[in-house]
Amino acid sequence: MNTWHIGVIGGSGLAGGVGLQQAQEIAVESPFGEPSAAVTTGTLEGVRVTFLPRHGPGHAIPPASVNYRANIDVLKRCGVTDLIALSAIGSLRADMAPGQMVAVDQFIDRTVSRPASYFGPGLVAHVSLADPVCPRLAAGLADAVEAEGATVHRGGTYVAIEGPQFSTRAESLLYRQWGGDVIGMTAMPEVRLAREAELPYALLGMVTDYDAWRTGESGVEAAEVLAVMHANVALAGKVLRRFLAALPARREDSPIDRTLDHAIMTAEAARDPMLVAKLGAVAGRVLG
């Protein structure tokens, strides 16, 4: 696996903004149901890139209804080797201001209703998620932001909430006490599933607001988020291009490429053949 193929999951308006060359829109089926949309695949800076809008065309899918399993599965089926997520986030820290970016490296999962694993009864697996982000992808994205003259924070803990409502003030203050730096609604279970699919993952968050922890100020509003997000679309496209242009010609192996080597717990004779078949793209390397 010495050729890069970068998957990008992001906002619905990003695909046209990054200017993929020889772009093709392809509907890819998944045994885990319908993905958010067809993928758009092409090249950028000489690198194969496949884009998937997380919320579907026109941002029609709320965070808790995104089929995260299907999304990661279809990107794996497309041959993606590494995955970048671009997301709007709220800030839980005064020094992470709207308009700045954060290369997230840790997560606290507060979601409650989303299927969080490809594995289950009949095929049990436990992957390590101690360090959920690929350091070389995160560093490359942060380098690209700085090269564009923008502010980026290298590292930060992302609190993933269920939504679709924004936090109460009490919740926002609690997350700060927990050590949360930023907050959003979509990173979980996305990062969990990427690790199970043996895809190195990095999340570049675009700070849009201060959530609700700053007493004496109004809470976050959707219009505020959209305004900052739209202003940052062009920057996100420039950062992505610069990141791709800086990739080494040869992709060196990542330890994440072999996450499942020792993760499968179920004896071969006891495995559910239907689940094994569904996992052909995600785990076929170890399931045969």
Q: What is the CATH number of the domain that holds 78?
A: 3.40.50.1580
Please check whether residue 180 lies inside any domain of the structure. yes
pLDDT of residue 13: 56
| 69-90 mean pLDDT | 96
Residues 6+ apart with CB under 8 A from 212: 166, 167, 168, 169, 171, 172, 219, 220
Q: Is 73 a catalytic residue?
A: no
Question: Distance between CA atoms of 192 and 190, rounded to whole angstroms?
Answer: 5
| 18-33 mean pLDDT | 92
**The pLDDT of residue 160 is above 90:** yes
> Which among 157, 63, 161, 64 has a CA at the least distance from the CA of 110?
161
pLDDT of residue 16: 57
Indicate the pTM of the whole model.
0.94
Please check whether residue 286 lies inside any domain of the structure. no
pLDDT of residue 17: 56
Please check whether residue 57 lies inside any domain of the structure. yes
pLDDT of residue 216: 76
Domain encompassing residue 80: 5-280
Packing angle, helices 280-287 and 68-77, rounded to 10: 60
pLDDT of residue 14: 66
Please check whether residue 285 lies inside any domain of the structure. no
Please check whether residue 201 lies inside any domain of the structure. yes
Cis check: omega of the bond before 115, within 30 degrees of 0: no
Please check whether residue 287 lies inside any domain of the structure. no
Catalytic residue among 95, 209, 257, 261: 209
Question: Distance between CA atoms of 10 and 86, rounded to whole angstroms?
Answer: 5
| 243-259 mean pLDDT | 97
Question: Distance between CA atoms of 165 and 256, rounded to whole angstroms?
Answer: 34
Catalytic residue among 82, 211, 253, 272: 211
Q: Is 272 a catalytic residue?
A: no
Question: Distance between CA atoms of 110 and 168, rounded to whole angstroms?
Answer: 14
Domain count of the chain?
1
